[in-house]
Amino acid sequence: MVLDNKLIDRLIAAGQSHLIKFFDTLDEAGQQRYAAELAGIDWDLLQELIKSHVMQKPVIDLPEDLTPAPYFPLQPRSEAEKSYYLQADAAGEELLRTGKVAALTVAGGQGSRLGFDGPKGTYPIAPVSGKTLFQYFAESLLSASRKYNTTLHWYIMTSVVNDGATREFFADNNYFGMSRDQIHFFTQGFMPAIGYDGKLLMSSTGSLALSPDGHGGTLLALRKSGMLDDMKMRGIEFLSYFQVDNPLVPVVDKRFIGLHKLENSEMSAITLAKTNAFEKVGNFCVADNRLYVIEYSDLPEALATQVDENGQLKFIAGSPAIHVISRSFVERLTASGRLQLDWHRADKKIQCIDSNGQSVNVTEPNGVKLESFIFDALKLADKTMIFEADRKEEFAPTKNATGVDSVESCRAMLIDRDARRLERCGVTVPRRADGSPDVTVEISPLAIWDDEDCAEYVKKHQIHALDAGSVNYLV
């Protein structure tokens, strides 16, 4: 096969002719596949981004007059607010019962920090049963479906790096008891990785080094994959959005969903109180009546450290990447078939070949990946809402194998959450001097969804106390 002349001219003009150096050595099928890959690239955009984000560090254009974003606190501040929250509970429950809500999980990332071979959702996270992240979410959704007497649909975003393996994993595990048509996979877009010299990297003689285009790619992928139409057809109006690495997240939260609805919000966010001024989470800020999430590395120190009259950080609201998103908002943003969120640069170690077609042993970052982030859509929303959550109840990200935000810390938080739930239902749980539970305990989401279920369970099984050092699996 011969390559389109226009494409060849384009590549030469853009200084990317190395990409076709090995073209003639590929077999016919390889040539066709690679030609389609090259033809699918938006070269105009890429050339601009190489200039602005690769050959130099991108200029961060912070809006002026950033102020801390207001939010609904976890505990209502007044009787009126209390009754508003109860109204939100009822509204959220109604939306769940009537099938207006679906779950949306972004699982397209590469999970490189975890160093696990396979999609992150297939990581065995549960402390006793070893259930994977995907199974944990599936069972939570089954349980919530039972609670609200509905069938909660689950939209799962995969990417070029893990789509096949993810689908296979679900099929091999019989969709964890969910019905096949309850689960909807869709694949996000990708971006080529770029070397520091501005040249695109190749993963083999017949393919570019591609990586997923960031969780911001979710919105356009929902449209391009036909998922927005699928949701509309099913009457789904709101998406409960969470990341694949956070098993502590309540997969659907009636109060959060209800507040989103009552506030006429287009995109809402959960916030957690930051543990310190420089915690590595995004900061919710307002400028020009728009909601921004400013990355920890971009928030000026003078703002990050500002305190109020009680000595509390003013920019206290951190983002754990949990959202409710209205389908109509995604439809509006992507109506033209395009959506340009900001691009962010990440310096990474990228597997690639050299100019002789030999695999390079990459030990240091050798190029740039470009990603867009879902939270950048907040500033495009006409109405937003932020609701505070308790970190211990909602956020245990599994980013690393050990240390901060790791498998270890996540398992400890899952155990602690389940221990607290049992304590609230009158069970005595032994604790160590530092307050951590002196037991290993796991509650299957299939058996117990909320405190009400837990109270019934401990009564039925006559559970009064757990033994120090014991391993308990409530199933």
Residues that bind ligand UTP (CB under 6 A): 106-113, 120, 157, 159, 188, 212-215, 217, 243-245, 371, 399
Distance CA 222, CA 475 (A): 35
Residue nearest to ligand UTP (CB): 109
Q: Which residues, at least 6 apart from 38, have a Cβ–Cβ distance to it below 8 Å?
A: 3, 7, 11, 19, 20, 208
Distance CA 380, CA 354 (A): 41
CB 349 within 8 A of CB 192: no
Distance CA 344, CA 197 (A): 18
The smaller minimum CB distance to ligand UTP, of residues 189 and 195, is found at 189
The smaller minimum CB distance to ligand UTP, of residues 261 and 411, is found at 411
Walk across the sheet containing 367-371 and list its strands: 194-195, 367-371, 344-348
CB of 179 to ligand UTP, least distance (A): 24
The smaller minimum CB distance to ligand UTP, of residues 370 and 389, is found at 370
Side-chain-side CA neighbours of residue 425 (13 Å): 23
CB of 360 to ligand UTP, least distance (A): 19
The smaller minimum CB distance to ligand UTP, of residues 127 and 212, is found at 212
The smaller minimum CB distance to ligand UTP, of residues 106 and 448, is found at 106
Query: Which residue type is seen at 219?
Result: L
Query: Which residue type is seen at 337?
Result: G
Token output for 54: 């690769």
Distance CA 213, CA 108 (A): 9
Side-chain-side CA neighbours of residue 305 (13 Å): 3
Distance CA 335, CA 332 (A): 5
CB of 316 to ligand UTP, least distance (A): 22
CB of 370 to ligand UTP, least distance (A): 10
Distance CA 473, CA 127 (A): 9
CB 265 within 8 A of CB 384: yes
CB of 220 to ligand UTP, least distance (A): 12
The smaller minimum CB distance to ligand UTP, of residues 108 and 367, is found at 108
CB of 117 to ligand UTP, least distance (A): 13
CB of 265 to ligand UTP, least distance (A): 22
The smaller minimum CB distance to ligand UTP, of residues 394 and 453, is found at 394
The smaller minimum CB distance to ligand UTP, of residues 205 and 400, is found at 400
The smaller minimum CB distance to ligand UTP, of residues 157 and 200, is found at 157
CB of 277 to ligand UTP, least distance (A): 22
Token output for 20: 């076709």
Token output for 101: 């809500």
Biggest distance spanned by C-alpha atoms of the chain: 77
> Quick one: CA torsion of 396, 455, 95, 174, rounded to 10 degrees?
60
CA atoms 95, 100, 103, 104: torsion sign: negative
CB of 143 to ligand UTP, least distance (A): 21
The smaller minimum CB distance to ligand UTP, of residues 281 and 385, is found at 281
CB of 471 to ligand UTP, least distance (A): 29
